[in-house]
Structure 1
């Protein structure tokens, strides 16, 4: 037997501290209210119960948010957490799937014992009960009912009518969430049918129920980890032998200070563990990653000691990385996107939720011709030595690699195929549970199959050639026919059905709304979000409560046919850093575009206005990188090169997690698609215009690069590049006004970028990232577009994988705004 159990027992005993008495109450009686930041504290001070807030899925305490969490919003949860652990660590959440929403700080949620003797959480904004603990026993409820937070962390509802023998009417231990505490039972009551199981959280900061469950096996005396509401089991504890489970001998039943038991009789079947010292802070849990873990909190190191985590290899958790990913046993970052795919939600990944997986960077050239004459331009890329994804469909009559490839290519829904020991296998839609096998001995890779992944042809061409002219020509030529057919299909569908219709466009689905539907969704266009050069934007909600932003285009500058063609081409452009176009409306002279609604408004609100949120440096750098990735996609990965022409903070919208999304990226295409010629009408905004707009030279994607550089400087400084000038000490007797981008270039050359930081940051920023950002910005605003980097290069620089020398001062800016004498290095 390993010495680990003995060491663990000693650590548990040594780390256990004396419990402290608490002045806070542990009880709520009838008529009493727990609201807002009020809390119950167990008599031993080990556990606290109260409300905490989570900003759109990011759970944190309303009184002591963690250092890297977003500001609290109006989402409230009722939960129990460890008092001694600095970062909010919940052990039970009452309403994870149904947060309490309050309209204002004055409408704080309340917990109370009702007149009927039920424990209820009330949303004061709506005066509705969001959650309640009701007794399953047949008893008369009255004012003698109380709720108590016990020293074990168990919240109980007691009938105290008989003070000498109070009865338990309800207890949180019967309804666990993701954590099992000492003395609690994890299992099922064979008489009542009550089944207590652990359910993982959605992510490390989101208390909503996740996808993994840990529960007793009704057929074998063991516990299993599985996908909730599914028959798929990916790990088990092994059978109980009377002392421990066969697969986890680390938790032997005779560990000093720690006792594990498993009971299976005619009445119940459950797992239970206990500790000899009540002050020990310990937990058994199902982690957001799908692993079952047992941990002990060590005050000395202020960290959790993990006694065991199973399954030991994260890749053994079923579908841990989500669709279109590869799980690697040997990599520090276990989840990675397959070639041609990008992470669906960067924020979720950062907090351990990989279930969203990855999405295509470019849509497939999907064809409805399933014959041998299929004209799809898609290609396959091979991924060797891989554990094949689940749910592959076997094609029995296919007997060669070439025929297997053809069968997949001729099926529009086929996303990959493999031909090997199992014959011809094809996959449709998402690819789940693909694994990169472990190395064996000398480094040889264990036996795996070759997976052939279907990608748009330009994805492979872009990686094999730098000749963008050839690539664009080939792609454009291949798509002319498809776009023509697409326009025809749109017209036919709209004429046949004026209500919602799905328009298939390279894998993207747009909704054709009627004017009446949009008027209803926006309450007769009553809530105006803003106004731009192309029209006004209104907030609305669809029938399924989806938030939308409806843009009403001013002016009849397009015919119906041209408008529909433009909308269909924009509809297939989908990327994590671009605002998603949901649909459109085209009735008479009315033209509307319907986008997803961004709850945190535009970037300028938070940088320049008093009613915005404070953006720390980490968030600003995330925004800079996200916008760069979005522009790189528009310039380099779309079927047609799309030039935005108006990059500025007003056109950078922020989602619930402050993830940036570029808005209005299709409007430049509406007014002119041929950017190989000079545009006669200047487009853009003062302060972000590249010199070529004025000089009359040909417009290229480098105009967006210039605007992006100006945007970076505003992210750093928190102030407008245009408008008020930047003041700097010129001499001992006064200050001199200097154009800020010029000042930024000079300070960068001096190596003193800290002086450029927004004062609201109080110097709290990664100065290496600040210098990198300023350097990129100064390269982007160079006069000659040939000196500016591409947006793909900008992404690499910001990611730290590419570097450039120090940029020179922009000559045009120096001439217009600089000093009479030149600046030297």
Structure 2
């Protein structure tokens, strides 16, 4: 018998290789094994019984080893994709007892994949990484010492963990379902329990300010969903588009503690749902459940319900413990927008009918009335309030949000309530109480109405827009009517034109005669007093404005341009009258600039210029009155603290106003002086940008310009200080600085007693690098902020203050990001490193001089020689590195 020669193809080698793979948990290519086996059989011919047995055992070991699935932890430098893990259904890591698995998975009937943590026996998803953007089955999950990165098949990054100060050593999955990143000392760098999506499980804490965000639907995971579950300082609430419709304290079976402690977090366990406060041992609110040793799960479903259940042992088995709200009609969008819910049955309210093209929607029964869109949903929404408005009465209805908010105004009649809604393009309906005069506004979105006859005193009215529709026989009679009406209209128009021309000529002759008799003014003053632009706002008489302001008695503001007084015109309209301070040549230019710019633009987020006055050296501007004053006064003053939702809405209003200036006008307008003092607020926090005296207009072919320095210290973009061209991205920089002040609730360069000086933009950059956004929030809010919105605003603000203007987003993109239609980009650290220098200069100057509001520190380096168009005060010394004082940075005022 010929001797047997052992080779790499021998079955005994397969056996030991497979056993070694099983012990080391390293993957072996099945294709390679099959190839080796085929070659071995070809060389060896028929195998013996022993050889066949060894091969069978080897195959058995391979089938149960799951070599590509790690248990409990994995070290860095791993790359996974669903395509590579298809034999393991995308699983690459399991917890110690396999209760939970980490996998690349998709939902049923979907080809979109996500990095997720899943309860293994029931296949219940409890956390998702890339909710905003899915990947294909070829997309990758890359785990390195820098963290976790999810990218699509083209390499585009769609999600990643934040930067860390120390390298990542382990990726660990615990039996609690918590996925962690640890460093070499086993310190937790990041964990999924701190970043919930729509679900929490037993032992997981939902901190104050954090939210659960529902999926858009059962197949679509997206953070833009309308439903949120948020833990506040006093309760847990559910909201739809920011309007509350449920809170935990409403549930009668729960128990509320009598202490006045602030809530710290919410937790669910085997015995119930709890809100903890104080030192994390005080139970503020508890809702008891039947004791269970199984894992409990709480989910905000895409339907708007908050469901608590117990995970079973079989796929899809979840035992339902309770559901809130328990009434279908209490869910804001159960029936859809503008529909009526009665006992879970949906229909159209009285006065409405089903739409012809969309039967599941309701439209006014009167075909001449249409429903306007809110101004944040329609590019031309601000024009709708100019049309005729008619209100449709709702019979025997309630609206979910009325029980959770205070009225916008009280002790007013229905007409005043409707007028308040008509003047607000975001208002779509009102509820008014005849007995108390309370007025509630429904803004931006309308959900389902609730059928109810219990409170007949609170009546709803839906805002409609009247349309002029042709009659049925108009087409047949059009020719005859046209033959009669067109000549008459032409004749009437001709008479009007001739009359206006004669009146204009007469007024012009009277003006010239008056100027001829007046020799007390210089020729330049006379020339300026004849300044007039057809189509501009009303020109008031000086005496009329003196009477309106009681001889300029009540001062409501002052600044570089002049002093602002409160006044009341003869028609009882309250106005703000600004007396210009600068009377020189620059003052004339500023005055002309402000009239020319603001007189011809109309937008809901831009202050309206009602008129102006010229009298010798007196120049006055008449604005609409904003009763809450400036954002600077409201944000930094001693009054009521602006809540997070109010701040977010103000930022969005500012962005829309700037977007209109940059893209909605015939000529692009660069404001040049965006700061809190130039943002005005009305009683309902309507936002309007003002003070256009420094604005620059760009022609259709211009993208930028060179100009003298203008603006305010602390908000000036770096390009103002070089010979770089000035573009609309300079306004974006100033906007980013204002957003940072909105987040912090104080000036970026402020110093508090007994606290070391901190330049806030630098702190924002450092906290972004650490992923600790909650530390940037205004402490007066006590954590009352949407965690994802806070992160979004911080990232957006940093993107807006990139040193390179090209990297800053346009204001159109900023609006898209704030409204949720565009994802915020990751800030470019390399283009933000200049903030470290600014921060160092601020700290040095603060240490020497004490108070930030008195500092004349030199924050901005002038890297290049100034352009010849720059003012002499801005130039440095022959190319040496020079700096500019705060007075210089203020520009011409």
Larger % of helix: which? 2
Structure showing greater radius of gyration is 2
Answer whether TM exceeds 0.5 for this pair: no
Q: TM-score, normalised by structure 2?
A: 0.39
Using the size of structure 1 for normalisation, the TM-score is 0.42
Structure 1 or 2: more strand by fraction: 1
